[in-house]
Structure formats: structure tokens, C-alpha cells
């Protein structure tokens, strides 16, 4: 295990995944990119990433359902899960944080500040 942080990114849109993955790799993160929540839960159990970035709207399992399953499993409970959403509904940020996400990021992402935002959500160590 190196010093680089491992971020699991989950988004059903492959273009979003590629963009986020490229931005984080450029900043020295190790990234795993997955397109659905079920696979992401399995990966999180196996590899215990430092942080998970989770799209909200995905076919099949939603980001919220995936977050709740991660939280209910002792193996993955401590991993911060940050929601990435394009929703601009009033109160969405507060609603999602109250639902249990550890952080909120708005799409479209700001490519200049994205990596710093992600870093700010990493547990201290």
C-alpha cells in the first residue's frame, strides 16, 4: 500500500466517470471507476477505498440505496460516501446530507477545484 489515496467513483454515465477519473489520476489519486451500485458495494467490501464518490441517479440501485447498504455493513461503514448530483432542487444538499451522505458535490463539476474538493472529504491521516 502506497501513500496514494484510493477513490472509488460510481456513475452510470461513462463520460462522467472518465472525466472524474482523469482529474483524480492527474492529482495522484488511485481510482476505481464503476457504473453501478451493486458492483460498487462488492468492490468497496473487497478493497476498502479511502473515499467513495457516488452518483445519485443510476438505473437499478440508486446512489442513496447503495450508500445505505454500505453504511449498514460493518466492513464498509466507515468509508465516507460523497454524493454527486446534477439535481438543483431547493434543499437537495441538506436532504442528502440528512439521508446519510458524508458530503455533497454538484454537477457539472468544476474541473479546476474538483480534486481539492475531493481531498477535503478524505479522513485525516
Residue 12 binds Mg ion (CB under 5 A) = yes
Which positions from 59 through 118 interact with Mg ion, judged by CB under 5 A? none
Q: Which of 125, 118, 120 is nearest to 30 (CA)?
A: 118
Of 4-12, 33-41, 64-72, 88-96, which part binds Mg ion (CB under 5 A)? Answer: 4-12
One residue of 45, 57, 71, 95 binding Mg ion per CB under 5 A: 57
35 binds Mg ion (CB under 5 A): no
55 part of the interface to Mg ion, by CB under 5 A: yes
DSSP characters over 8-61: EEE-S-HHHHHHHHHHHHHTT-EEEEES-HHHHHHHHHHH--SEEEEES--SSS
Contact residues toward Mg ion (CB under 5 A) are 12, 55, 57-58
Amino acid at each position: 500500500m502506497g501513500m496514494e489515496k484510493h477513490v472509488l467513483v460510481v456513475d452510470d454515465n461513462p463520460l462522467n466517470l472518465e472525466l472524474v477519473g482523469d482529474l483524480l489520476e492527474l492529482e495522484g489519486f488511485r481510482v476505481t471507476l464503476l457504473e453501478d451500485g451493486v458492483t460498487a458495494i462488492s468492490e468497496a467490501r473487497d478493497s476498502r477505498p479511502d473515499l467513495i464518490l457516488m452518483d445519485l441517479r443510476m438505473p437499478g440501485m440508486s446512489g442513496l440505496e447503495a450508500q445505505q447498504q454500505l453504511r449498514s455493513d460493518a466492513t464498509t461503514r466507515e468509508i465516507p460516501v460523497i454524493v454527486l448530483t446534477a439535481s438543483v432542487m431547493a434543499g437537495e444538499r441538506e436532504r442528502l446530507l440528512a439521508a446519510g451522505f458524508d458530503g455533497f458535490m454538484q454537477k457539472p463539476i468544476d474541473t479546476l477545484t474538483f480534486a481539492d474538493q475531493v481531498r477535503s472529504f478524505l479522513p485525516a491521516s
